[in-house]
């Protein structure tokens, strides 16, 4: 993995930084690889680094003290994480676990924050990303207050479609490039495995998705786009 090739202006997280700032980040960054299931950091750990995901999928999660309510979110490669605690918390507000084998570049958070805080255009990009993440979570909360668990599962799938999906040509379908278990989808939806399985079977029958060997393929883009809007 070549840090100089990955940390550059071709990624939106660094697009407005000066050459000098990018060089400074490159000099203090470290490339690492993690196997599926390895923990990068836990909730409550000292927030020492921010990470750029080079390859694979990361799982960001938090479980409350009662082990009842779960925050679960997935992020695919070529992006920075975690975003929401930048410039604020001294500790990580979530845990990060490798959902697949991953490659990351870690940067000291203080260096990154200092560079970005002195660059108005790049700061705006980070604030816009924080806003987008919050909007997604507000949507999940809104759907989560509904008694109808079907809507919660469909919202989770729509978010996966939007944030993890990769369009396939010439078929026009959208795939999630990593396995997603029924349990993953159920935890993210705040519902049971049985309910989630029933909803997925209905969506398969309705030809909205294909689900085989833990792999998701979205067949009806309009349906899932509309789910995000409603």
Q: What is the pLDDT of residues 8-49, one digit of tens each?
A: 999 999 999 999 999 999 999 999 999 999 999 998 899 999
Q: What predicted TM-score, i.e. pTM, was given to this entire model?
A: 0.86
The rounded mean pLDDT for the chain is 89
pLDDT tens sequence across 147-188: 678 888 999 999 999 999 999 988 889 999 899 999 999 988
**DSSP string across the chain:** --HHHHSSTTSTTTTT--HHHHHHHHHH-EEEEE-TT-EEE-TTSB--EEEEEEESEEEEEEE-TTS--EEEEEEESSEEE--TTTTT-SB-SSEEEESSSEEEEEEEHHHHHHHHHT-HHHHHHHHHHHHHHHHHHHHHHHHHTSS-HHHHHHHHHHHHHHHH-EE-TTT--EE-SS---HHHHHHHHTS-HHHHHHHHHHHHHTTSEEEETTEEEE--HHHHHHHHH-
List domains and CATH numbers for the chain. 3-141 (2.60.120.10), 149-229 (1.10.10.10)
pLDDT tens sequence across 95-148: 999 999 999 999 999 999 999 999 999 999 999 988 888 888 777 777 665 667
pLDDT at 207 over 90: yes
pLDDT at 67 over 70: no
């Amino acid at each position: 993995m070549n840090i100089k090739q990955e940390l550059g202006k071709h990624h939106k997280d660094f697009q407005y930084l000066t050459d000098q700032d990018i060089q400074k980040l490159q000099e203090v960054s470290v490339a690492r690889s993690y196997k599926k299931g390895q923990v990068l950091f836990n909730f409550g750990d000292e927030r020492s680094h921010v990470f750029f995901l080079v390859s694979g999928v990361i799982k960001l999660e938090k479980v409350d003290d009662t082990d009842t309510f779960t925050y679960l979110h997935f992020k695919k490669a070529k992006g920075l994480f975690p975003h929401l605690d930048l410039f604020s918390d001294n500790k990580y507000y979530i845990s990060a676990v490798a959902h697949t084998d991953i490659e990351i570049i870690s940067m000291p958070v203080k260096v990154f924050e200092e560079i970005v805080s002195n660059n108005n255009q790049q700061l705006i990009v980070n604030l816009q990303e924080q806003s987008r993440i919050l909007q997604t979570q507000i949507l999940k909360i809104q759907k989560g207050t509904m008694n109808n668990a079907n809507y919660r599962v469909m919202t989770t799938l729509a978010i996966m479609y939007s944030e993890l999906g990769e369009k396939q040509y010439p078929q026009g379908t959208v795939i999630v490039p990593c396995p997603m278990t029924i349990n993953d989808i159920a935890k993210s939806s705040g519902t049971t495995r049985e309910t989630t399985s029933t909803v997925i079977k209905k969506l398969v029958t309705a030809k909205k998705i294909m689900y085989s060997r833990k792999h998701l393929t979205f067949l009806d883009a309009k349906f899932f786009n509309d789910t995000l809007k409603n």
